[in-house]
Amino acid sequence: FVLFLFMLGSVYATDYSNASSTGIFEPFMKCWNPTLCNLLSIPMSVYPPVKDTSFNFGSTDSEIFGVPIPIMAVVADQQSAMFGECCFHPGDVKLTMGTGGFWNVNTGEHLFASRGSLYPLIGWKIGEEVVYLTEGSISDIGTAIKWALDIEIFTNVDETAEMAQSIADSQGVCFIPGLQVPGDDPYLCASFMGLKPSTNRNHLVRAILESVAFRNKLLYDIIVKKVHIPLRTIRADGGVSNNSFVMQMTSDLINKKIEKPANADMSSLGAAFLAGLASGFWTDKKQLKKLRRIEAIFEPQKDSEEYRPAMNAWLQAMKHSPSW
């Protein structure tokens, strides 16, 4: 739609990554799904032609920016972040923690899906190369942190990691946000459980941040169980990846090293990489890999079993929360 507007209606098209993200595009056959179109009573003719992700779509109308600007890539959000992280090999893993959370695994030429938790996507198509991803999502990560900021549980997001680290534990306080994997309850309202007279802001902040790490652990375990390819490097991005407490606790829980790039906004970088390849600014992915800059590496520092009591309490709280 944005492409259509930028070109004042002269181009009507999308790419494989955006098409597959609609859920109406058949990733196995790489075409719009006629059965779903019929169920939705939407004519097949309404859907746009699907082009390569890295492709010359034409130029914007000069009336918009004063000069025509070529559009050399169209790409969906998480797929773009995956490309920006240079997760080019099967088994490469990306964790984006922004408003929500997204775990993506490069599955190469193979499609993996799991009922109720993981779903397949086309990552990108460049020439004859089609790369598939599997994705699982977590709701209300950045949303929960922003809500806590809005009601003044803390005054600056940057101080939350220090607040959480200033205490040994949450004192039994659990935060249950909206749940997707594995709960998938659209009616669930967020709640704090285990509040006591001694509970203070630090406990509330730690409970919120712990809920992010616990959900990362749950989804990672599903990926390990369902995706039957060896997992390689894990790379994190998104605004919440700047929180050292969440990053370290996630690394401890999954017992894996996690890389954090210098630039947390990987979606923008991925789109730039794809456009640069289409325009000839870069010639191959090897050049893109040389541009990667790692700001921090989080390695496991605690045995995941040390978190078992807190996680068991959180799981118990989660069981009491559906339809609340």
8 A C-beta contact, residue 84 and residue 269: yes
CA distance 52 to 56: 9
8 A C-beta contact, residue 181 and residue 218: yes
State the sign of the Cα–Cα–Cα–Cα dihedral 44, 46, 48, 49.
positive
Q: What is the pLDDT of residues 224-253, one digit of tens each?
A: 999 989 999 999 999 999 999 999 999 999
Copy the structure tokens of residue 104.
């993506």
pLDDT at 319: 84
Q: What is the pLDDT of residues 115-165, one digit of tens each?
A: 778 999 999 999 999 999 999 999 889 999 999 999 999 999 999 999 999
Cα 245-251-257 angle, rounded to 5 deg? 125
pLDDT at 177: 85
pLDDT band for position 17 (50/70/90)? very high
pLDDT at 181: 47
Phi, psi (degrees; rounded to nearest 5) at 323: 60, 20
* Whether pLDDT at 321 is above 80: no
pLDDT at 113: 78
pLDDT band for position 270 (50/70/90)? very high
Q: What is the pLDDT of residues 86-115, one digit of tens each?
A: 999 999 999 999 999 999 999 999 988 777
Average predicted confidence (pLDDT) for the chain: 93
8 A C-beta contact, residue 211 and residue 313: no
CA distance 137 to 180: 7
Query: For residue 171, with 0-12 CB atoms within 10 Å meaning exposed, 13-18 middle and 19 or more buried, which class applies?
Result: middle
Helical (H) or strand (E) element with 104: strand 101-108
Q: What is the pLDDT of residues 174-208, one digit of tens each?
A: 999 865 445 566 667 788 999 999 999 999 999 99
pLDDT at 292: 94
Q: What is the dihedral of CA 17, 23, 25, 27, to 10 degrees?
A: 70
Mean pLDDT over residues 279-283, rounded? 97
Q: What is the pLDDT of residues 295-318, one digit of tens each?
A: 999 999 999 999 999 999 999 998
Q: Tell me which residue of 274, 272, 273, 240 sits closest to 258, measured CA to CA.
A: 240
pLDDT at 76: 97
Which domains can be identified in the chain, with CATH numbers? 1-74 (no CATH), 76-266+283-324 (3.30.420.40)
Q: Tell me which residue of 237, 283, 220 sits closest to 80, measured CA to CA.
A: 237
pLDDT at 324: 60
Copy the structure tokens of residue 133.
């991803």
Q: Tell me which residue of 79, 75, 84, 30 sits closest to 57, measured CA to CA.
A: 75
Copy the structure tokens of residue 18.
């955006």
Q: Which residues pair with 105 in a beta bridge?
A: 93, 134
Mean pLDDT over residues 45-60, rounded? 96
